[in-house]
Amino acid sequence: MNKNYISPDLSKESFTCPHCGTLSLMRYEYIGYDGPDAVSMSPRRGSGFEYVIIASCLHCKGKTIWINDQYVYPDIVAEEANPDMPEPVKQLYNEAGLIYSKSPRAACALLRLGIDRLCNELGENDRDINNNIGALVKRGLAQSVQQALGVVRVVGNKAVHPGQIDFDVDDVGTATMLMRLLNIVVERMITEPNEINSLYQGLPSSVKESIEKRDK
């Protein structure tokens, strides 16, 4: 996972280019339409005024496009999946990433399902996701990770069952937040333990024996 990734955002001078993957400055162009014969290059935006915004990457010249502030091109995953993300979870994550700009609600629902699959991959297979998260807590799940899991679960549920909580699941920012949280959960629950184990296994045998004797 690229921790320096910044998703395309009209409010930012720089973001990660979806074409070349570089965190780059962008040059913005505004093309507005007052009517069939009226074209303007001014940044005026408002009701009844159609406009296209084009961000050109200063590194590769690739173009990112919004129409009336709605992201339309190119199709991208908002943030790369953590390389350690289990494949069944990564498939849902990437599918959510390809549609989040067009249907944030559908992306949120997919990410909620991704949390369910992640619990399964970690050995918890109850049909109730709350019970699975509870079992992980008993295994020593950090409070911050528990909170992240809870956010993805609750907001994802809202995408499937509207009206239960006051949270805008039709907002692109909500979908990208859930993707970030899912990556954080994988980082804490899979990547960090793997890295620690790798470092431990690299210790001399005498050092490991000393540690194991101490911990008995």
Residues 101 and 131 in one domain: yes
In whole angstroms, give the CA distance from residue 20 to residue 101: 19
pTM given for the model: 0.66
In a domain, 100, yes or no: yes
Task: Name the domain count of the chain.
Answer: 2
64 plus 153 within the same structural domain: no
- Check residue 166 and give its pLDDT: 45
Find out whether 6 and 15 touch, Cβ atoms under 8 Å: yes
Residues 65 and 103 in one domain: no
Tens digit of pLDDT for each residue in 82-109? 999 999 999 999 999 888 878 888 888 8
Exposure letters 34-45 (e unless 16+ CB within 10 A, then b): eeeeeeeeeeee
Q: What is the pLDDT of residue 106?
A: 87
Q: Is residue 212 part of a domain?
A: no
Structural domain harbouring 100 = 87-199
Q: pLDDT of 42-83, one tens digit each?
A: 555 555 667 889 999 999 999 999 888 888 888 776 778 999
% of residues, the chain, pLDDT over 90:
22
Query: Could you give the dihedral angle defined by the CA atoms of residues 75, 80, 81 and 83, in that order, rounded to the nearest 10 degrees?
Result: 130
Say if residue 93 is in the same domain as residue 184: yes
3-state secondary structure (DSSP) of residue 195:
helix
